[in-house]
Amino acid sequence: MTSPAETAPTAVPLDSGDAHTQAEWEHLAAGVLRKAGRLAEGDADDLVWSKLTRTTLDGIAITPLGTPALLDDLQTSGRPDRAGEWDVRAYFADPDAKATAADVLLDLDNGVTSIWLEVGAGGLPVDALGAALDGVLLDVAPVVLDASDPIAAAAAFAALAAGTALADGTNLGADPLGALAAPGAADLDVAGIVASVADTATDLGCLALVVDGTAVHDLGASDVQELGWSLAVGAAYLRALVAAGYSAADAAALIEFRYAATDEQFPTIAKLRAARRLWARVLELSGVEDRSQRQHVVTSRPMMSKYDPWVNMLRTCVAAFAAGVGGADSVTVLPFDAHLGLPDVFSRRIARNTSALLIHESHLAKVADPAGGAFAIEKLTDDLAIAGWAEFSTIEAAGGARAALADGSVHARIEQVVAERERQIALRKRPLTGLSEFPNLGETLPERRPYAPGAKVVRPWGHAFEELRDNPSGTVFLATMGTVAAHTARATFASNLFAAGGIAVVNPGRNDDVDALLAAYESTAGGPGNKPSVVCLTGNDKAYAAWGAEAAAALRAAGATHVILAGKAPEGVDVDDTCAMGVDALDFLNRTREKLA
């Protein structure tokens, strides 16, 4: 008998293996695209680059394959400052101090290493801060405040922490410019808030300010806009602190940055690396020697959905992976039910265990910069850094962050991105699983306690589909033509499309001719008086050509007032509408709902 050792392949060093050319990769990739119908037989192999390269909302290309040539004459800075495991930061917004205290201690006992508290409007009352942190060792667990009144919250925390050597990373969390970015925000004394909270933080020996990029991300900003905004706000805070008597170095040491991580992992990784590079340049120009950037990364709020919330576990896991690989110092995984209300014990456990899984089972924190040297990531980092600096320069040219808010230019550029994102979502080029794709009309959503009045309201990227789902609208009869094998592809496509708009379907199964189809239609919902007024022909091209015209006419005669065909209608088949891949789903669904009404 041959031993496993004798049959095992011999290890070959990477540098002595067979060399392969870019042309070989292009040929193989082109073969796959030809089988998928995305390339014709006569098309050149090198067209795979244009077919497989995708573009971000900022117009930045993400190449399908990284090559050394991508880094010719490019910067590759932006490597993480963190060594080892990231800080696992949990978010709390429950106004009930007793419930918050129990949740905080439970999380700290089970893997969470720092606390992020919403204080004031939408969260914990300022005077309940002590009760909520009862039992928390402030010299061990960092606490980060997020307060509607940062001066009052800082004073309350200072009274609570008096005489304590606070844990590294504790932050009073003031971000008045971020607060001003919210629609309808009241005017604030930015310089006064910054100076007051900085003085309190200096006395306590902790951080004072958060430059919160999620303030614009949650409004719909792109990655580049988030980078440019964070630089402009960071520069504004440096200026305010220097004017208040701080050195540039001491001012920089009081600031933490917060960014959003989405389930688009490569742009997220590159964004965090670009952010460090950009802030280092600001500090270099400010004469500061320590040019590190403390990063807190939170999984994106608007990427999450209210419907099929379990999918949010997958979204946040990918986002947390990207945050860890991107070098975040602290990571917050928002619970999967965050859009439904205050998270429960189970969802909080899943959230904190996501980081535990990535750190202790996937060992992401074992490598200082997992993305370092990856040609595509290094290129994307450079592209984001250049574009981010351009956005920063645009804001500075307008007079800085506050002036750019006042003149509406920041929000105007964000709205352009929002419009493009919503266009792509409507066309399902940017699919949302469980919402615009594979929705489940029969699901029962988990029930959660509501947030406090004044809580942050974030419009999800899929809000238009959610609004349709909130108001279900009628039933469509699927006129399934032929065998199950013949009609199932288009019937499944149509069923998912209708469900995305809150429209139920009746699928009668196999129908071999017009008579069988009419019999199925007549028996729908218990009798002629309950037949759906909207029908959708679903079959293959052969069936459409053979008896599609007859089927459409017969269904109209039987009472259908609006006939749709799934796919492309052949000549001679009289229908009112069609639906196929690439259709503007929202427009189609709204048209259909009008007919159902």
How far apart CA 443 and CA 406 sit, in angstroms, is 44
Query: For domain 87-406, which architecture applies?
Result: Alpha-Beta Barrel (3.20)
The pLDDT of residue 406 is 96
- Count Cβ atoms below 10 Å from residue 101 Cβ, excluding itself: 21
CA–CA dist 480, 547 (Å, integer): 12
pLDDT of residue 13: 61
Q: Which of 33, 376, 330 is nearest to 173 (CA)?
A: 330
pLDDT of residue 17: 62
pLDDT for 9:
53
Residues 6+ apart with CB under 8 A from 28: none
Task: Give the model's pLDDT for residue 82.
Answer: 82
Question: Are 590 and 597 contacting, i.e. CB atoms less than 8 angstroms apart?
Answer: no
Q: Two tokens at 472?
A: 């279900």
Question: How many angstroms separate the CA atoms of 100 and 117, rounded?
Answer: 9
CATH class of 471-596: alpha beta
* Cβ atoms within 10 Å, residue 53: 12
- Residue 500: per-residue pLDDT: 97
Residue 80's pLDDT is 86
What pLDDT does residue 523 have? 87
**Domain-wise residue ranges, the chain:** 87-406, 471-596
HSE-up (13 A, CA, CB side) for residue 136: 32
Helix residue ranges per DSSP H, 110-252: 129-132, 150-161, 176-180, 190-204, 214-217, 223-243, 248-252
Neighbouring C-beta atoms of residue 590, cutoff 10 Å: 14
Alpha carbons 521 and 478: distance in angstroms, whole number: 9
Closest CA to 461 of 314, 583, 307, 333: 307
Give backbone dihedrals phi and psi of 309, rounded to 5 degrees, phi first: -65, -15
Separation CA 293–CA 259 (nearest Å): 12
List the pLDDT tens digit at each of the 597 positions of the chain: 455 445 555 555 656 666 788 899 999 999 999 999 999 999 999 999 999 999 999 999 999 999 888 888 887 777 888 889 999 999 999 999 999 999 999 999 999 999 999 999 999 999 999 999 999 999 999 999 999 999 999 999 999 999 999 999 999 999 999 999 998 899 999 999 999 999 999 999 999 999 999 999 999 999 999 999 999 999 999 999 999 999 999 999 999 999 999 999 999 999 999 999 999 999 999 999 999 999 999 999 999 999 999 999 999 999 999 999 999 999 999 999 999 999 999 999 999 999 999 999 999 999 889 999 899 999 999 999 999 999 999 999 999 999 999 999 999 999 999 999 999 999 999 999 999 999 999 999 999 999 999 898 899 999 999 999 999 989 999 999 999 999 999 999 999 999 999 999 999 999 999 999 999 999 886 445 578 999 999 999 999 999 999 999 999 999 999 999 999 999 999 999 999 999 999 999 999 999 998
User: Position 175: which residue type?
Assistant: D
3-state secondary structure (DSSP) of residue 77 = coil
Please name the residue that has the structure tokens 């400010």: 286
Distance of alpha carbon 147 from alpha carbon 191, whole angstroms: 17
DSSP assignments along 507-555, one per residue: ----B-SHHHHHHHHHTGGGSGGG--SEEEEE--HHHIIIIIHHHHHHH
